[in-house]
Amino acid sequence: MASASAVLESEWTKIRTVASTKWTLAAVLLITLGVGIALSAVTNALFDDMSENERATFDPTFVSFSGMILGQLAMIVFGVLVVGTEYSSGMIRTSLQAVPRRGLFYASKVAAASALALVVGMLTSFLTFFACQAVLGGHRTSIGEPGVLRAVVGGGLYLMLIAMLAMGVTAMLRSSMLALGILMPLMFLVSPILAAVPGAKKVARYLPDQAGSKIMQVVPGAMDSDEVPYGPWGGLGIMALWVAAALIGGYLVLKNRDA
């Protein structure tokens, strides 16, 4: 029977030898960084045209992560591919024959992919922050200001949790196409639209992306946005509960259904 370390090494080998996962992780960095720089430059140029409330609640750290809404989509694709590729290729049967302990197999896959997502997430978050602050010029902040380091580290944690959420959902659905068909519209369309509708805001604030993104804010009510009844770490905690539910659901499906 395979040991835990051997299974973990096997899952790590699978992830790092698949070209598509490398490209999606590169896209996380490039999209988040590129869009963040572009929007930071626009914000800097149009700062004087902002409303008084927007200037009063201006959050240069949060502006740096403007590209996260697109970068997270690439991280979703990474999480979906890590789990979904084995189902679409039929390799899941071979994997489970090699590792009959499904809990060990699942935990190793999630752990290996999450560790890689964390590294890429932290690299993306720190590079994006420093690059965008340079673009913001006189409106920039520094990593030593209160709350800023927490927000930047939180950006990396947020991306890791996005990948874990995608892995859990894909394990439940056992299909890359179905998982992408649910997660992409939810994160890119449904969640932002609900957050903009007055009657739905109280519900939308508890969706994983809306809650988790608060960790990247330093100024409460940044950019004249609505304040929420939880703090930055509370928001990330809400997101973590969504992730835990998805991962547990994925494990239960894997445990109780045939490959």
Half-sphere exposure of 40 (CA within 13 A, CB side): 30
Please name which of 162, 183, 173, 160 lies closest in space to residue 112, comparing C-alpha atoms.
160
Count the domains in the chain. 1
Q: Distance of CA 194 to CAs 148, 186, 202, 209, 210, Å?
A: 28, 10, 9, 12, 10
Give the tens place of pLDDT for each residue, 134-184: 999 888 999 999 999 999 999 999 999 999 999 999 999 999 999 999 999
Let me know if 3 is exposed, middle or buried by CB neighbors in 10 A (0-12, 13-18, 19+): exposed
Task: Tell me the pLDDT of the chain averaged across its residues.
Answer: 91
1 pLDDT more than 60: no
Give the tens place of pLDDT for each residue, 107-120: 999 999 999 999 99
Q: Which pLDDT score is estimated for 259?
A: 61
Output phi, psi for 24, to 5 deg.
-70, -40
195 pLDDT more than 90: no
248 pLDDT more than 90: yes
Confidence of residue 91 (pLDDT cuts 50, 70, 90): confident
Confidence of residue 227 (pLDDT cuts 50, 70, 90): confident
Q: Read off the pTM.
A: 0.94
Give the tens place of pLDDT for each residue, 36-58: 999 999 999 998 888 888 888 89
Q: Which pLDDT score is estimated for 224?
A: 66
27 pLDDT more than 70: yes
User: Hey, what are 75's tokens?
Assistant: 């991280």
Ordered DSSP codes for 160-220 = HHHHHHHHHHHHHHT-HHHHHHHHHHIIIIIHHHHHHSGGGHHHHTTSHHHHHGGGG-SST
2 pLDDT more than 70: no
Give the tens place of pLDDT for each residue, 54-80: 888 899 999 999 999 999 999 999 999
Print the domain residue range for 173: 4-256
